[in-house]
Amino acid sequence: MTPGTTDDRVPDLSDLIAGTATGRVLRRSVGFGSANFGIIAAWVALDTSIGPTSTPLRVLVGLSAVLAVATGVLWAATDRMLNRLPCTLFGVFAEIGTALVVLAIPDPRNGLVGCALLAVLGAQFTLLMASRWLFLHLAAYVLAVSILTPWGARIVWTRLLVYAARSRIDPLTGLLNRAGLDHAHQRLLEQARSGGIDPQVLAVLDIDDFKSVNDSHCHVVGDRVIREVAMTLRRFATSGRGVVARTGGEEFTLMMPASRGTPLTDVGGRLPLTTVGRDGPSVTLSAGVVPLEFRGADRFALAHALTEADRLMYDAKRRGGMRAAVHSAR
């Protein structure tokens, strides 16, 4: 301040407590919190069972740990950390470093502990922030809550939907897996309860003597045969507004509507039970066909139908294969 002028700036709390016993207590408290957070960050960086597994992220978390401990020592040792510039820089670093560490923890329960520690440290540190920086700080939070949080939530939700969809897909064939078949059945069950659907049939199909394909050729050829069977069944299911899933090594399950009054023998007679053999030897399939009831059915109805269809499929195999055995009402 030059001679003859006055400083009309309203002092902040940091100006008032610098050099006092209160300032020393607050400085040491913030320093202890920062150093404690640094130790936790180091633990997260070194222990892959609770922290990140990627090397770049572990290095970033480790660097945050070193800086947190170093700044913690500075807070405890000198009043200079109460000055506006280092105090503001520490606030920016604390938020970025804490967010990095919390986001690097896969287990949300451990991440919650980090958030609690941040809340304690933030409550102490907010007292030291200059008024304008506190205003900008709060404005940034309003921006994050009103704009960035919904945007981030949309990204996270989209990724979760993608992962959920992938978890229902068989990676070898691109068909549904057993979880995908359960999901498709649940949708049909909800549709039946709300407005009714066409009668459905379920068929379990298995490649005949598939072991000989792997023994005579190799597993790579066996995978090609499985993919060809999958494409054949997918085309058939798509033409009949049905779904098909790979529910075992060489076992497939088909679920599709059937016209009222259509005998199951007609459905079984239309099933594609042979392949052309484009990428490997031609193979045949055996099938078991059962009606899939939805009136009064529950989520266990699919399991009961699969058990019966599987039994019929093995009956077809025992009778020479390349045929469909159908359920008969007793």
pLDDT band of 117, cuts 50, 70, 90: low
* Domain presence at residue 134: no
Task: Work out the mean pLDDT of the chain and round it to a whole number.
Answer: 80
Q: Tell me: pLDDT of 324 over 60.
A: yes
* Domain presence at residue 147: no
Q: Is-contact 189 297, C-beta < 8 A?
A: yes
What is residue 242's predicted lDDT score, i.e. its pLDDT? 94
- Per the structure, the complete domain to which residue 220 belongs is given by 178-326
**Length reported for the chain:** 330
Q: Is-contact 258 200, C-beta < 8 A?
A: yes
What is residue 6's predicted lDDT score, i.e. its pLDDT? 47
Distance CA(323)–CA(205), nearest Å, equals 10
* Domain presence at residue 266: yes
200 and 310 co-located in one domain: yes
* Domain presence at residue 51: yes
Query: Per mean pLDDT, which range of 78-87, 183-192, 301-310 is the poorest?
Result: 78-87
- If one counts the domains in the chain, the total is 2
CA angle (225, 172, 285) in 5-degree steps: 35
Secondary structure (DSSP) of 65-84: HHHHHHHHHHHHH-GGGGSH
Check residues 247 and 143 and name the one with the higher pLDDT.
Answer: 247
What is residue 1's predicted lDDT score, i.e. its pLDDT? 47
What is residue 16's predicted lDDT score, i.e. its pLDDT? 56
Check residues 158 and 46 and name the one with the higher pLDDT.
Answer: 46
Sign of the Cα pseudo-torsion (113, 115, 118, 120, in order):
negative
125 and 230 co-located in one domain: no
Reference 234, options 284, 292, 176, 167; nearest CA is 176
Please, what is the angle between helix 131-143 and helix 84-103, to 10°?
A: 20
pLDDT in tens, 148-165: 556 656 666 666 666 666
Q: Is-contact 82 14, C-beta < 8 A?
A: yes
Q: What is the CATH number of the domain that holds 228?
A: 3.30.70.270
What is residue 9's predicted lDDT score, i.e. its pLDDT? 47
Task: Write the CA distances from 13 to 10, 34, 72, 125, 267, integer angstroms.
Answer: 10, 20, 20, 11, 83
pTM: 0.55
pLDDT band of 64, cuts 50, 70, 90: confident
Among candidate residues 129, 160, 193, the one where a domain is terminated:
129
85 and 222 co-located in one domain: no
What 3-state class would DSSP assign to 288? strand
* Domain presence at residue 148: no
Q: Is-contact 128 14, C-beta < 8 A?
A: yes
Q: Are strands 251-257 and 200-207 parallel, antiparallel or unpaired?
A: antiparallel
Q: What type of residue sits at position 64?
A: S
pLDDT in tens, 73-97: 888 888 777 777 777 777 777 777 7
What is the enclosing helix (H) or strand (E) of 245? strand 243-246
* Domain presence at residue 171: no
Task: Write the CA distances from 220 to 25, 170, 225, integer angstroms.
Answer: 70, 17, 9
Phi-psi region of 66 (alpha: psi -120 to 50; beta: other; left: phi over 0): alpha
Query: Per mean pLDDT, which range of 105-114, 175-184, 224-233 is the poorest?
Result: 105-114
Q: Is-contact 223 273, C-beta < 8 A?
A: no
Q: What is the Cβ-side half-sphere exposure of residue 71, based on CA atoms within 13 angstroms?
A: 23
Q: Is-contact 251 244, C-beta < 8 A?
A: no
285-292 β-sheet, strand order: 243-246, 251-257, 200-207, 285-292, 324-326
191 and 91 co-located in one domain: no
119 and 186 co-located in one domain: no
81 and 203 co-located in one domain: no
